[in-house]
Amino acid sequence: MIIRLLLFVLAASQLQAENRPNILFCIADDWGAPHASIYGNDEVVQTPAFDRIAREGALFHNAYVSSPSCTPCRNSIMTGQWHWRLKGGANLYGTLPQEVETYSRLLKKSGYHTGSWRKSFGPGKLQGKFLSEHPAGKVYRKGFAEFLADRPTKDTPFCFWLGASDPHRGYKKGSGKQSGMDLSKIKLFSFFPDDPEVRSDVADYYFEVQRFDSDVAKAIARLESMGELENTIIVVTGDHGMPFPRCKSNLYDSGTRVPLAIRWGRKIKKGQEFQDFVSLTDLAPTFLQAASVKVPAKMTGKSLLPALTGEGELRKFILTGKERHVPSQETPSMEGYPSRSYRDHEFLYIRNYSPKLWPNGTPNWQKATIKNTWYGDTDNGPTKSVIVNLGPGSKFYQWSFAKRPGEELYDLGKDPDQLNNLAQKMPKIATKYRKLLEKELEASADPRHGGPEFDFAVPTYGGGGPRFPGSR
């Protein structure tokens, strides 16, 4: 009787292991919303692989990163926690604290074959336990095919991080136009001047978005050829907004909102579209729950499975924040531009903790912490040059590079690009959202709101990061 019971338990556990889904996580570098063709905002950029995942699964219209900077965003995805809980991991070129764990490592402990390709953690420095076991899984320099060839058995569930380097700068100038894109049809953000240089720059960005999409298409095709597509959770997204002024490293939607599509065969209904909010911190607990692995209590993310299966709802608001992107203030400051935001469907509220600092880095390149950088939080490129050359008297310069007040408030119904700050004109609403933000940050143990003390301005790696802003 005991032997039969043991055999039954063993068989049941084997069946559970066999039924556990594979996970393919595809993340672009500097790809923001709404720059995918299925979102319908632009007939120029074409993303058939992303569109397919959305049509055969779920499309999210309001997915947000924890922070619009590579290192803290990726750290927050891996750990399922708000980046401000990750000490030095909240900054570009930071490190992951030893007390945190990542979903990939937890999946490996439960029997998954895990691995990564190209950009996953970082830029930053791995230390301690993460040196011996990578936070995103073993690095496979030849990509998905090499990873699959290293799979222990054909039945071993796997989790793979497909991290592209596109559409990060630099771009081959004119590549978008040369590919056949009609630049006159590009829909520019209203905070960009309608200039031929800007249109061409955006087209070059689109060209690399499409190249990332082709990498995703190849991975999907390989899953199909293996017969693994239906039992694989496929997630496609980006780590923050495009590397343009007022986008990457800013808390406006153009910096924090990203494309997101998820497919899982018959497990979730096809063609779903969600308007409520998702944080990319929600992906880690989603993967763990799907794999029947206990979600650590420290994870602040919320599994998406209840919403995807029709048994729950998404977030009604979202939090984002920033500590330091590039050390771009004036010497000897190692501060960034600390800020937090609270956004729902009606308003975006931003709290800037150091309004005397430059929000996208000092224009005084001679005094910059990193020598010879100007407006260092914005990647160098044609659009940046066009706007800077317009000068401080231009509204486009003011929107992207001028100093900002301590509070910002935007009416999203009337001002979707978040250009008209109403904090002074609507003080009662600003106060309401300030209190909502403070309550959530205190509950999340944010060091700036009563959490464990930590000096984010202290460099954790490399004495301040890269020399030139284009290298990050």
Q: For every residue of 33-99, which 3-state class applies, written as one string? A: CCCCHHHCCCCCCCCHHHHHHHHCCEEEEEEECCCCCHHHHHHHHHHCCCHHHCHHHHCCCCCCCCC
* Among 348, 345, 337, CA closest to 423: 348
What's at 395, amino acid-wise?
Answer: K
Across 90-223, the runs of DSSP E, i.e. the strands, are 113-118, 138-139, 158-163
Q: How high is the mean pLDDT of the chain?
A: 93
The structure's pTM equals 0.94
Q: How far is CA 177 from CA 171, 196, 251, 355, 458, in A?
A: 12, 11, 30, 39, 43
What's at 342, amino acid-wise?
Answer: Y
The per-residue pLDDT for 459 is 76
The per-residue pLDDT for 370 is 85
ω into 332 cis (within 30 of 0) = yes
The per-residue pLDDT for 7 is 35
Q: How far is CA 150 from CA 63, 142, 182, 437, in A?
A: 33, 12, 43, 46
Ordered domains of the chain (ranges, CATH): 15-315 (3.40.720.10), 321-471 (3.30.1120.10)
Reported as a pLDDT band with limits 50, 70 and 90, residue 333 is confident
Residue 457 has pLDDT above 90, yes or no: no
**Distance of alpha carbon 2 from alpha carbon 356, whole angstroms:** 72
**Distance of alpha carbon 465 from alpha carbon 472, whole angstroms:** 8
Burial class, 152, CB count within 10 angstroms (exposed 0-12 / middle 13-18 / buried 19+)? exposed
Q: How far is CA 218 from CA 26, 149, 162, 278, in A?
A: 12, 16, 11, 27
- H/E stretch holding 130: helix 129-132
The per-residue pLDDT for 461 is 67
Reported as a pLDDT band with limits 50, 70 and 90, residue 19 is confident
